[in-house]
Amino acid sequence: MHDPSQDMEQILLDPPALDRIISELAARIAQDYAERGDKTLLAIPVLKGAIFFATALLEKLTFPVEIDFVSASSYRKGAEAGALSLGALPDRNDWENVDVLIIEDIVDTGKTLSAMVEEFKRLGAASVRVVSLLDKPSRRSVTFSADYIGLEIPNAFVVGFGLDYAERYRNLPYVGILRRDIYEPSAH
Ligand code: IMP
C-alpha cells in the first residue's frame, strides 16, 4: 500500500509539535475570553480543512463553547486558489450576544477569512476573531491578519491534519510539505 509520507518533502509538524502549538493557542484564547460576562463564545470551524485543528483546540478549552460551521471553497486548479464561494452562515437571532471565533487551518491569500470576518460583522456579532493553525504571510493578496496564529510558514504547499491536495491527505496526523512533483507533475 502507498505510504503517504513518501509524498512529503518534509514533515513540518509532527503530532507532539502540533499538540504543543495548539496547547499554547488554547491558553491564550482562554485568557482573552475569560471575562466576557454572559456572552456566548461561538466557535466556527471552516469546513473541511479546520476540523482536525478545531477538535484539538476546543477540547483544550474548559469553559462553555457553542459550535457551528461554515464552508468555504475556492475552485482550485492544482495548488492555486481560484474564485471563492462561502456557504450558508449559522442562522441565529442573538448575534449581539455572540463572540465569534472563526477557526481556520491556514491563511494563504487572506481572501477567505477577510470575506468571512466581514460577513459576521454584518450580522452584528459582538466580536469576531480568527485563529489559524498556519499562516503563509508571503502569499497575502488582501490586507488581513489573524488574531491567533500557531505557526508562520514559508510559501510551500502543505497537507495533513485537515489540509488536502485534491481531497487527499486530510487524515494524516501530521502537517507535511507536499513534494512539488505531486502537484506540478511537469516540475523537476
Ligand atoms: P485564502 O483565502 O487564500 O487565504 O485560502 C485559504 C484556504 O486555501 C485554506 O482554508 C485552505 O483550504 C487553502 N490552502 C491554502 N494554502 C494551502 C496549502 O498549503 N495546503 C492546503 N490548502 C491550502
Kindly report, residue by residue over 10-53, the tens digit of the pLDDT: 999 999 999 999 999 999 999 999 887 789 999 999 999 999 99
pTM of the model: 0.94
Tell me what percent of the residues of the chain surpass a pLDDT of 90. 82
The predicted pLDDT at position 68 comes to: 97
Distance 106 CA to ligand 1 centre (A): 6
Q: Quote the mean pLDDT of the chain.
A: 93
Cell numbers for 38, please give them. Answer: 454572559
Known catalytic residues are 108
> What does the buried/exposed string (b/e) look like for 11-44 if buried means 16 or more CB atoms within 10 Å of the residue's CB?
ebbeeeebeebbeebbeebeeebeeeeeebbbbb
102 bridge partner residues: 44, 130
56-to-6, 16, 21, 93 alpha-carbon distances in Å: 26, 12, 11, 29
Residue whose CB lies within 8 A of the most ligand 1 atoms, among 13, 52, 163, 177, for a mutation test? 163
